[in-house]
Each structure stands twice: as structure tokens, then as C-alpha cells.
């Protein structure tokens, strides 16, 4: 306590004693003086006490050490946003996710022809396709196994099992025998794992990439025959269940490991041959849809890349799929 406060207190005590003491009451001057001193001392003490109560508490020196259990962070870390994906860029959202390729916006003409030389066809419709990402390859056995191991999903198709399709496969081969509902479950699993909007590509998106619109190839030349297109894993005739072909670069009677043949100008593999690929377009008029359009042909049957079919939604040993993702 400061010295002035101590003196004021002493003066208050002494003056009060004089003022109330019977022996000093006859001395009027002394009593009046003592009373004045007592009043002044009282006001001084009150003012000092008010000052003490209004003073802020003393600040502690700041240190860079956080107290145990506190969430205080002294270092500000700037979180940088990932660079935007560029056209043609390859990326992978998780270790078990399919590698994806960024596809620039474009347009594709869709027809209803099953074969390239079909005479009957509805008028072609032009579809504009927004920028999106497409699986660089078909979904592999390894990627599918990560999904089934995590979810416990098992085959339900009595005619075909992805665990044993009837021929030998490695983990790098495209998964087959997955039905439409199985594929949708896989897509939802990918969304849950990554937080990204995965789906099955539309037929127009498949056509844009499958016909390799950026390569400058003449579509008429592509339709003219097998020699106009790079080698692929496919059969030898139009018969859907024809004998499989093992000749030239195609050394697999059934499915081939994904990426065994050269990529197109988008950097996407196996758009022709290996397995038919589901699209999101319905091939039936039923509601709900009972059959979806498939594209690309397979190891059985000589189908060309621009031709289309419709898949058994229960799955088959010649049908697989690849995924798409919105950007």
C-alpha cells in the first residue's frame, strides 16, 4: 500500500479520536479541525479504494509455450488449396481408387445403330459434354476386391461370379460378372471413401472418348474395318459368342490386363475390346430400367468402337465397367 494511503488512514483515526473524545470537546477549534481532517481523509481513502477496484489485473508476460491441454496455436499455417486439375491430367483420389483422366468439354453424335453398317437408324442427336474425368482403364479385379473386402458384398448372379468367371484372371484384369446394382454400390462406396461425385459415364461421354475425337482420325476410316484401328483384345467375327482370338499383339483368349494396348489421344486405355462397358443410358423402355447400353465390344466378338449393345443388368463374363467423376 502507498505511503499516502497509510498517512491518510492514520489521520482519519487520530482526528476521529479527537472529535469524539470528551476531554477535547471544549476546544472548539481543535474539534472542528479534527472533524475536517477526518472528512478529508475519508474522501481520500474512498477515492483510492475506487481506483484500486477499477484497475485492470496485471498482464502476464506472453510466451510461445502453450499450456498443457490447450488448443492455442501460436504458429499460423497457411493451407494451400490444391492446384486445379488440367485437361489430360491423370489423378487418383485414393490408393484403391481407379486412376482418372481429365477429359475436356466436347460434343458427340449418338445413333441407335448396333452395327456400323446397319441401314436402319434414328436421326443422330448431338450431345454437348461438360468437362469431366473418366477412368483411365476399366475397373480392375484389385480395385473391386478392395470394395468387396470393405463392404462384405458377395456375388448374387447364379450364372456368373466375379470370384470365378470361368477363366483365369489376375488382379490387373478387368472385373466381370458385376451386375448393375453391384456397380452402383461400388460407385457409392467410392463417393464415401473420397467425398467426390463418382458415377457411371453416360453413353455420350463414352462416345466422345471412345471415338477419340481429339486424334483427328477419320470416323469413316474407323468404321471401315479392323486394320484402321490399333490392335485390341477382341474376337474374330460378328458372332457375340465367337471363338476368341489370339493373334498378333492380342495374346489373351479371354480378358487381358488393363492397359495392355496403347492408349488413345486422351490417355485412356481399352475403349475397344477386352470387356463391354456399362453406360448410364437405359436401353429399355421399362421403368425402372432393366437393361443399360454397353459400349466397346469384348474379347468375344468383332465389334468396333462406335458400335453399341445392351448389357444384362445382372452382369456377364464379357461385361465390365469404368467410372466417371464430376469436376
Domain ranges within the chain, ordered by starting residue: 3-51, 90-326
Q: What is the pLDDT of residues 258-268, one digit of tens each?
A: 999 989 999 99
Q: Which residues pair with 100 in a beta bridge?
A: 91, 135
Q: What is the pLDDT of residues 293-313, one digit of tens each?
A: 999 888 887 666 667 777 778
Q: Determine the 3-state secondary structure of 221 from DSSP.
A: helix
Closest Cα partner for 207 from 327, 302, 124? 124
Its pTM stands at 0.70
147 neighbors 186 (Cβ within 8 angstroms): yes
CATH second-level architecture of 90-326? Answer: Alpha-Beta Complex (3.90)
Q: How far apart are CA 70 and CA 192, in angstroms?
A: 32
Q: What is the pLDDT of residues 172-208, one digit of tens each?
A: 999 999 999 999 999 999 999 999 999 999 999 999 9
**Highest mean pLDDT, choosing among 25-34, 176-185, 222-231, 275-284:** 176-185
Sequence-ordered list of residues with C-beta below 8 angstroms from that of 280, at least 6 positions apart, any chain: 199, 200, 201, 202, 203, 292
The mean pLDDT value of the chain amounts to 76
The edge-to-edge listing of strands for the beta sheet with 276-282 is 308-312, 291-295, 276-282, 319-320
* pLDDT value at residue 310: 76
Q: What is the pLDDT of residues 200-256, one digit of tens each?
A: 999 999 999 988 755 555 444 444 444 444 568 876 654 545 556 677 777 888 999
Q: How far apart are CA 297 and CA 285, in angstroms?
A: 23
155 neighbors 175 (Cβ within 8 angstroms): no
Which pLDDT band holds residue 63 (cuts at 50, 70, 90)? very low
Q: How far apart are CA 213 and CA 203, in angstroms?
A: 15
Q: How far apart are CA 176 and CA 272, in angstroms?
A: 16
Q: What is the pLDDT of residues 109-165, one digit of tens each?
A: 876 655 544 444 556 678 899 999 999 999 999 999 999 999 999 998 888 999 999
Mind giving me the DSSP string for 107-166? EEEE---SSTT-S--PPPEEEEE--EEEESSPPBHHHHHHHHHHH------TT-BTTB-S
Amino acid at each position: 500500500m502507498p505511503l499516502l494511503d497509510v498517512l491518510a488512514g492514520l489521520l482519519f483515526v487520530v482526528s476521529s479520536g479527537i472529535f469524539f473524545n470528551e476531554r477535547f470537546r471544549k476546544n472548539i477549534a481543535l474539534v472542528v479541525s479534527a472533524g475536517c481532517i477526518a472528512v478529508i481523509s475519508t474522501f481520500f481513502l474512498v477515492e483510492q479504494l475506487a481506483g484500486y477496484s477499477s484497475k485492470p489485473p496485471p498482464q502476464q508476460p506472453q510466451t510461445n509455450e502453450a499450456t498443457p491441454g490447450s488448443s492455442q496455436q501460436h504458429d499460423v499455417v497457411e493451407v494451400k488449396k490444391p492446384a486445379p486439375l488440367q485437361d489430360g491430367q491423370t489423378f487418383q483420389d485414393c490408393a484403391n481408387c481407379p486412376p482418372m483422366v481429365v477429359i475436356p468439354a466436347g460434343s458427340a453424335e449418338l445413333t441407335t445403330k448396333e452395327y456400323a453398317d446397319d441401314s436402319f437408324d434414328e436421326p443422330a442427336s448431338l450431345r454437348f459434354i461438360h468437362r469431366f474425368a473418366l477412368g483411365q482403364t476399366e475397373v480392375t479385379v484389385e480395385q473391386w476386391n478392395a470394395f468387396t473386402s470393405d463392404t462384405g458384398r458377395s456375388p448374387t448372379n447364379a450364372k456368373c461370379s466375379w470370384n470365378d468367371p470361368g477363366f483365369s484372371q489376375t488382379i490387373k484384369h478387368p472385373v466381370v460378372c458385376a451386375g448393375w446394382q453391384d456397380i452402383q454400390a461400388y460407385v457409392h462406396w467410392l463417393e464415401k471413401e473420397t467425398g467426390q461425385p463418382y458415377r457411371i459415364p453416360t453413353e455420350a461421354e463414352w462416345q466422345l472418348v471412345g471415338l477419340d475425337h481429339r486424334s483427328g482420325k477419320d470416323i469413316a476410316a474407323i468404321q471401315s474395318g479392323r486394320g484402321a484401328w490399333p490392335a485390341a483384345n477382341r474376337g474374330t467375327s460378328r458372332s457375340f459368342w465367337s471363338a476368341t482370338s489370339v493373334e498378333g499383339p492380342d495374346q489373351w483368349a479371354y480378358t487381358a490386363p488393363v492397359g495392355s494396348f496403347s492408349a488413345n489421344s486422351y490417355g485412356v486405355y481399352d475403349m475397344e475390346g477386352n470387356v463391354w462397358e456399362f453406360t448410364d443410358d437405359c436401353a429399355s423402355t421399362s421403368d425402372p430400367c432393366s437393361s443399360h447400353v454397353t459400349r466397346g465390344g469384348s474379347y468375344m466378338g468383332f465389334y468396333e468402337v462406335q458400335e453399341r449393345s445392351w448389357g444384362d443388368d445382372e452382369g456377364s463374363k464379357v461385361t465390365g465397367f469404368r467410372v466417371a467423376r464430376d469436376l
